[in-house]
């Protein structure tokens, strides 16, 4: 099975229903934490290889609509299921609001840091065993982030290659005072989904990068009147909606190109000669060695499933 997976955010279900992203539906996968969201195998034709390129796709909010809001997503089941299927690299997408007014709605941001403002989410696999005391810098895989920036620029888009994402609990939106507080912390985007995904991926030594598109300006950043019955009650303008639709429409091409590039590196990756592999032993990419201290202490072995004690 493919070592690469995509976790789709808001509107992923729409791309599935319209066939913009299509593949074989494997369905939910059983895990010790309950069933995951349904998983798809996506195939991409490649001129460089005789066989199609495969990767996995999961829509975190559901496949028939926005069925599960951010605080109630079973993040542990989703990450466990992907790891269990051989995934070691994840690209996730999210549509946060902009705290930093220099961002444009519809702009892509490859975030590089995070502030966790969630409460009571199941954010670790290691409830027992005394594991998981691991460093979180860099938060997101630098190798995958670099690949995403290259893909975006290669498609004529103008991404920001950094940004601080504030993850709130939801499902409600934030107050104006909260946004001011987050700005004082250095927060630049505000969303609800990257926590605990990124932390769970790190615990299972998976590379994880997030591709964000700015969906609106956060509360109080620009003046917007309340409009009953509209998206975010008027916080998102008609121009914003069109810009977001344009960004979301780019996702299939971005994902497919990222999959192609990762596949082209796959033989070198196994041989230990690709940039992704070479950086794993350095401070630049600790993702797939985050639990090495525990291995050296003899507290864990090679079977990651046995690290998790239910």
CATH number where 225 lies:
3.40.50.1580
Identify the burial level of 71 via C-beta atoms within 10 angstroms of its C-beta, where 0-12 means exposed, 13-18 middle and 19 or more buried.
middle
Provide the domain limits for residue 62.
4-307
Residue 51: the pLDDT is 67
pLDDT at 49: 56
pLDDT tens, position by position, 138-170: 999 999 999 999 999 999 998 999 999 999 999
| Residue with the larger pLDDT of the pair 230 and 39 | 39
Least trusted range by pLDDT, from 25-29, 121-125, 234-238, 276-280? 276-280
Query: For residues 235, 239, 242 and 248, what is the CA-based torsion angle, rounded to 10 degrees?
Result: -60
Q: How many domains does the chain have?
A: 1
Q: Rounded to whole angstroms, how far apart are CA atoms 310 and 306?
A: 10
Across 26-36, average pLDDT: 97
- C-alpha to C-alpha distance for 87 and 6, rounded to whole angstroms: 10
| In the predicted structure, residue 280 carries a pLDDT above the cut 60 | no
The structure's pTM equals: 0.91
Tell me what pLDDT residue 218 has.
96
* CB distance 168 to 118 below 8 Å: yes
Report the candidate in 224, 211, 212 with the shortest Cα–Cα distance to residue 179.
224
- The beta strand positions in the chain, using DSSP E, are 4-8, 24-27, 39-44, 53-59, 89-94, 97-98, 108-110, 113-117, 164-168, 189-191, 207-213, 216-217
Q: Which residues contact 130 (CB under 8 A, 6 or more apart)?
A: 299
CA 129 from chain centre, in angstroms, equals 27
Specify the DSSP class assigned to residue 45: -
Contacts of 7 (CB under 8 A, 6+ apart): 58, 59, 60, 78, 90, 91, 92, 93, 197
217-263 per-position pLDDT tens digit: 999 999 888 888 877 887 888 899 999 999 999 998 999 899 989 88
**pLDDT tens-digit profile of 174-205?**
999 999 999 999 999 999 999 999 999 999 99
Residue 73 clears pLDDT 90, i.e. is over it: yes
């Amino acid at each position: 099975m493919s070592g690469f997976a995509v976790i789709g955010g808001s509107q992923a279900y729409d791309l599935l229903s319209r066939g913009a992203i299509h593949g074989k539906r494997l369905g939910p996968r059983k895990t010790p934490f309950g069933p995951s969201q349904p998983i798809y195998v996506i195939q991409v034709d490649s001129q460089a290889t005789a066989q199609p390129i495969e990767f996995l796709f999961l829509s975190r909010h559901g496949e028939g609509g926005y069925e599960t809001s951010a605080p109630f997503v079973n993040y542990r089941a989703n990450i466990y299921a992907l790891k269990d299927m051989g995934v070691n690299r994840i690209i996730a997408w999210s549509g946060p609001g902009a705290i930093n007014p220099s961002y444009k709605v519809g702009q892509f941001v490859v975030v590089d840091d995070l502030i966790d403002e969630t409460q009571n989410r199941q954010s670790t696999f290691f409830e027992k065993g005394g594991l998981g005391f691991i460093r979180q810098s860099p938060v997101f895989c630098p190798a995958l982030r670099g690949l995403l920036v290259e893909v975006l620029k290669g498609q004529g888009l103008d991404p920001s290659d950094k940004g601080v994402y504030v993850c709130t609990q939801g499902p409600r939106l934030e107050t104006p005072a909260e946004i001011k507080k987050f700005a004082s912390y250095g927060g630049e985007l505000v969303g609800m989904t990257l926590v605990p995904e990124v932390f769970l991926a790190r615990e299972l030594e998976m590379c994880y990068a997030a591709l964000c598109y700015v969906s609106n300006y956060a509360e109080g950043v620009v003046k917007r009147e309340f409009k009953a019955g509209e998206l975010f009650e008027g916080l998102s303008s008609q121009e914003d909606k069109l810009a977001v639709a344009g960004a979301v429409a780019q996702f299939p091409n971005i994902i497919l190109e990222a999959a192609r590039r990762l596949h082209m590196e796959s033989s070198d990756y196994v041989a230990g000669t690709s940039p992704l592999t070479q950086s794993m032993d350095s401070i630049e990419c600790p993702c797939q060695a985050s639990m090495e201290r525990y291995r050296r202490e003899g507290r864990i072995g090679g079977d990651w499933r046995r690290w998790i004690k239910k």
